[in-house]
Amino acid sequence: MLEDFIHIRQRVNPISISDNEIIGTFKPDEDEIQQLINLSAYSCIEDFVLVGGRNKPLTQVTGGQEIQVKLYPLQLKDEKYYETVEELIKVSSQNYPSNRFYIYSLNFDSETSAKPEIIQNYEATTQLINYLISISDYQKEKELVFFQAKQLVIITEYKFVDLVKLENILVLISHISNSADKEERKIIFINELINSLNKIPETRSRFKYVLKNFEDIFLNYKKSHSLYLEKYSYTKFKSEIDKEIIEYSKKLQSVINDAQTKLVAIPVAFLLIIGQFDLTGEKLYFNLALILSAFVFSILLEVLLRNQFSALEFISDDVTRFQSSVDEKKIAVLGEDFAATFAKIRGLYDKQKCYLNIIRVLVWLTPVFAIGLFILSLVNNSLIGILKTFLEKF
């Protein structure tokens, strides 16, 4: 039956096309008239056709006459006809048809034709959907719900433009299903789905994200499984690394934070020297005492700063020891994520060390500034003496 329908459709010059009706004209020969009669027996075409603007029974049509026919593709029973892939997806987006079907736009017959790439992508997508259904905890139409540490909802809706090549879908299914620890592998895969999709707030967009990023999700699953073999999961191990890094970050930041109350004395001492210094040069010993106090102040803060530098270096060495203690296999699995994480902590170390050096410069500027003021006071005193001598002459 489908062969007759396909043949007539290929011969028809279409006037209008809808989901359940194709209207067009053509000039049938005697064999094609018999095909039309066969199709009418299954309600795939009406018993009457338009000939010259008038209805005429198919049995009275002669070869070579131009006729207008109406084809009804949905009347095909076990075999299916689709004008386009979009129409196929609209009718059967969740399951690859088990019976024979034909797509006119591709001239694709599922029984006799090699599958073009778009059909391969469509079939892989339905395989993914069916596998997600099989491992989900709750299903309602196209809505799937997964329960693990967190809940995940996916709606398996997609369009023609969302179809992509899913090279590893059968590899994934086989890797999980054909194994002794398939339950553990299933949980690992679901956790990777949850980690990837919970950042997508719109549930209707999640399945499209899976299609677009399937290879990345599959790669993360393989990484997690490799770590699981060592009693870890990818997410758990990365979480542990991040936890340690956060602790080291707090320690690095505390190097300056713990000394803040003491470092506030720097501007206070600076202002005190400016306010108390005698620029007339009359209180020479007082000014010298201020200079000495400034040096004592700077030496005490230098001791504090050296302690902070030592603490900073100790934390840096601790980070290096921790980084070296991580198993090389785990580093290989985490790849760039591992290197990037420790690069951040190294950046924070460099920043804190820079801040301490700036503070050290400010600390020693105080006695330097005091010496400068002392020299200025001596110069001022000499000028005042010269000025007095000059005025006494007159």
Angle formed at CA 343 by CA 341 and CA 346, multiple of 5 degrees: 120
Dist CA 172 CA 166 (whole Å): 10
The tens-digit pLDDT sequence of the chain (394 residues) is 889 999 999 999 988 888 789 999 999 999 998 999 999 988 999 888 999 888 899 988 888 889 999 999 999 888 999 999 999 999 999 999 999 999 999 999 999 889 999 999 999 999 999 999 999 999 998 999 998 878 899 999 999 999 999 999 999 999 999 887 788 899 999 999 998 898 898 999 999 999 999 999 999 999 888 877 766 556 666 677 777 777 777 777 776 666 665 665 566 666 666 666 655 556 666 667 767 777 777 787 777 778 878 877 888 888 778 777 776 656 665 667 777 777 888 888 888 888 878 878 877 877 777 777 767 766 655 544 444 454 444 4
- What ranges do the domains of the chain cover? 2-109, 118-228, 238-392
Query: Which value, in Å, is the radius of gyration of the alpha carbons in the chain?
Result: 42
200, 203, 205, 209 alpha-carbon torsion, rounded to 10°: 60
**Token pair belonging to 146:** 């997964």
Query: What pLDDT does residue 106 have?
Result: 93
Query: What pLDDT does residue 159 have?
Result: 94
**Token pair belonging to 167:** 């090279």
Coil, strand, or helix at residue 205? helix
Query: What pLDDT does residue 385 have?
Result: 45
DSSP one-letter string for 310-343: HHHHHHHHHHHHHHHHS-HHHHHHHTHHHHHHHH
- Sequence-separated contacts (24+) of 244-248 with Cβ below 8 Å: 244/322, 245/341, 245/342, 245/344, 245/345, 248/315, 248/318, 248/319, 248/322, 248/345
